[in-house]
Structure 1
Amino acid sequence: MTEFDDNETKEYLHKIVVVGVSFSLSSIINYLLLIKSTGKTSVIQKYVNGLFSRSYKVTIGVDFALKLMPIDEKTNVRIQFWDIAGQERYGNMTRVFYKEAMGALLVFDVTRLNTFDAVKFWKKDIDQKVFTDKKKPIPTVLLANKIDLIEQDDENWISFREKMDKYCKEKGFIKWFETSAKEDVNLHSATEFLVKYILKNNIKPYKDEEDEQSIQLKEETEEMERNESNSNSGGCC
């Protein structure tokens, strides 16, 4: 972390990946069943821009959004959301998209619990491909989205909810939230919890050896250029 003057505002940049339901484009039946998505793009758009729409197009590849979150009078966090397409888990691109992420939001649709089946696969995908600087899995928050579309006294949902704390502990989620993009339920709370967790635990993105070698080579090259410049600027007769 950069050293700051006590009177300066500290500003951080956190890359957060947002992922959801997985499906294979080669499976027409699965595609038609899951095209409705979990609402992860709606979650981002509502939180970042205050907008909600039922007609967002299916994410292809990755989309981006940026949000400034004031933590206190002297601390701001710029959150860079990476909205990753559901089908990308079946390709090799998630490793690229995950790179240097510091946290993740994993979204499923409470009205279609078959989307919950994909949660364990996404969590495994994240845990295997992106790490903190201490080579540990990045913190991930689970979002049970579209909570506005179910009855809170529904017995199936009550039974499901009672198991969620245990499930999250077993699977390594730091917390879970019931959310609604339409009604703006818990979107700020979930994101704030993740961001503050990252700050509290001083989480930094993992740099692989190739990145470290590139940085070291750059520093050595710059040092050599400075020395050469100083040598050439010396007076001589």
Structure 2
Amino acid sequence: MGATEEDYNFVFKVVLVGESGVGKTNLLARFTRNEFNHESRTTIGVEFSTRTVLLGAAAVKAQIWDTAGLERYRAITSAYYRGAVGALLVFDITKHQTYDAVERWLKELYEHAEAAVVVMLVGNKTDLAQAREVPAEEARMFAERNGLLFAETSALDATNVELAFESVLKEIFSKVQKQKERGGAAGTVELGGEHAGSAAPARPERRPCCLPL
């Protein structure tokens, strides 16, 4: 389920948020490069990777941003969230304190991202199910109460990683299509904010980036 990098109709900015060590960088690497690094160290410096997926006849380029280790200093700035139309809010199913922090992250997301941001709650590290501290049903109910999508994943063995990212992209795409049907301007598709250019039909862009694709 892919397309060439330069041939796409939309660019959607998706951010990864959550406590340090929950596996955000490995989720990003698994989805965009099908890699997992057992020696994964804290990322330093904001970075993002892209991957283009086909949703029906449309090619959608996901630009996925990683918090780059700043979350441990609570130093994530509004620039990180700006223009984000999707988010994966990640916790570690084996560490309850990472789940306890979810509400704070959700509040921060809603303060800084687009008004119509699509959020999925992600319980990562299902490969360590024997050490589980957060019941799936508890997290699922929290997601339902707060209008979030929900999935449990393993970046290590790739379980549900595609499903999680693609579910978020499909939901964003669905919102864009509905807005177009309601008569959004032909040139741009806004998802609720002045910075929603990331949801606009894209022109091919070439810009240097820190990561190999």
TM superposition score category, shorter chain reference: 0.7 to 0.9
Whether the 8 Å CA contact 1:101–1:205 is kept in 2: the answer is no
1:39 matches 2:23: yes
1:167 matches 2:165: no
Q: Distance in 2 between matches of 1:127 and 1:54?
A: 32
Look up the SS of the partner of 1:54 in the other structure.
coil
1:110 matches 2:93: yes
Counterpart of 2:60 in structure 1 is 77
Superposition TM-score, scaled by structure 2 size: 0.75
Q: Distance in 2 between matches of 1:205 and 1:70?
A: 24
Runs of at least 5 residues in structure 2 that lack an aligned partner in the other structure: 1-6, 177-189, 198-213
Cα RMSD over matched residues?
Answer: 2.3
Whether the 8 Å CA contact 2:32–2:49 is kept in 1: the answer is yes
Q: Distance in 2 between matches of 1:14 and 1:138?
A: 11
How far apart are residue 12 of structure 1 and its match?
0.8
How far apart are residue 117 of structure 1 and its match?
1.4
Q: Distance in 2 between matches of 1:197 and 1:53?
A: 29
1:134-157 per-residue CA deviation (whole Å, 9 max, x = no partner) reads xx34110011000011139x7x65
Whether the 8 Å CA contact 1:21–1:86 is kept in 2: the answer is no
Counterpart of 2:9 in structure 1 is 11
Q: Distance in 2 between matches of 1:197 and 1:137?
A: 11
Counterpart of 1:138 in structure 2 is 117
Q: Distance in 2 between matches of 1:176 and 1:90?
A: 24
Whether the 8 Å CA contact 1:19–1:86 is kept in 2: the answer is no
111-120 vs 197-206, which moves further: 197-206
1:95 matches 2:70: no
Whether the 8 Å CA contact 2:116–2:192 is kept in 1: the answer is no
The number of residues matched between the two structures is 176
Whether the 8 Å CA contact 2:8–2:61 is kept in 1: the answer is no
Whether the 8 Å CA contact 2:46–2:67 is kept in 1: the answer is yes
Q: Distance in 2 between matches of 1:63 and 1:10?
A: 21
Identity of aligned residues (%): 31
Distance 1:41 1:101, change over 3 A: same
How far apart are residue 11 of structure 1 and its match?
1.2
Superposition TM-score, scaled by structure 1 size: 0.68
AA partner of residue 142 (structure 1): L
1:67-101 per-residue CA deviation (whole Å, 9 max, x = no partner) reads 011122x211000011013544723x421111111
Look up the SS of the partner of 1:16 in the other structure.
strand
Counterpart of 1:217 in structure 2 is none
Q: Distance in 2 between matches of 1:184 and 1:10?
A: 25
Relative to its length, the structure with more helix (as a share) is 1
Instruction: Determine which structure has more spread, i.e. the larger CA radius of gyration.
Output: 1
Q: Distance in 1 between matches of 2:8 and 2:45?
A: 32
Runs of at least 5 residues in structure 1 that lack an aligned partner in the other structure: 1-8, 23-36, 212-237
